[in-house]
Amino acid sequence: MSLKARITEDMKTAMRAQDKPRLGVIRLMLAAIKQQEVDTRTELDEPTVLAVLDKMGKQRRESIRQYTDAGRMDLADQEAFEIGVIQAYLPQPLDDAALATLIQQGIELSGAESVRDMGKVMNWLKPQVQGRTDMGKLSGLIKARLGG
């Protein structure tokens, strides 16, 4: 079952269970996926759906930071709940050792020698780590490994 189909089935389950908070988040996820499909005029594949969900999680983490700074813990708690629902559909995060191994493989396979070759490594790694690590963190690790 595809990720999009699983999310749709979970929406039906949440509707039957009258789980309104969870249903709202699932509907937001499906709306974001559908909007991306309309924008690109294509049916999204698994990596693209993961990218959409990853982006949604990143947006909510930023919102939590802003709400916390503003003292709005009620809104921060709502965002944290939404992150929990979204993360249930993302693959397990990579630990630091697995990430370091993938970075080393990416450097070796792409033939990267300096920071100028960072794009080659990122292009090789992105499909493998999408939704499993923060891309900003990954970029920093690659840059450090390449001597930047």
- Mean per-residue pLDDT, 2-24: 96
Same domain, 62 and 116: no
Nearest to 126 by CA among 113, 142, 112, 115: 142
pTM summary value: 0.80
Same domain, 71 and 105: no
Same domain, 15 and 80: yes
Q: What is the pLDDT of residues 43-61, one digit of tens each?
A: 999 989 998 999 999 999 9
Q: What is the pLDDT of residues 80-135, one digit of tens each?
A: 999 999 999 998 888 889 999 999 999 999 888 888 989 999 999 988 888 788 88
pLDDT of 64: 96
What is the identity of the amino acid at 40?
T
Per-residue pLDDT band for 28 (boundaries 50, 70, 90) equals very high
Question: Within 13 Å of residue 106, how many CA atoms lie on the same side as its CB?
Answer: 27
| Domain boundary residue, one of 86, 105, 128 | 86
Residue 64's domain comprises: 1-86
CA dihedral for 28, 29, 30, 36, sign (positive or negative): positive
Same domain, 45 and 29: yes
Per-residue pLDDT band for 148 (boundaries 50, 70, 90) equals low
pLDDT above 90 for 12: yes
Indicate the helix (H) or strand (E) that contains 16. Answer: helix 3-17
* CATH number for position 77: 1.10.1510.10
Same domain, 38 and 73: yes
Query: Would you say 3 and 46 are in contact if contact means Cβ atoms under 8 Å apart?
Result: yes
pLDDT of 130: 81
* CATH number for position 134: 1.10.10.410
pLDDT, greater one: 147 or 140: 140
Lowest mean pLDDT among 14-18, 30-34, 134-138, 139-143: 134-138
| Domain boundary residue, one of 50, 66, 86 | 86
CA dihedral for 123, 62, 9, 95, sign (positive or negative): positive
Name the domain count of the chain.
2
Nearest to 84 by CA among 52, 101, 109, 61: 61
Q: 77 is written with which tokens?
A: 């708690």
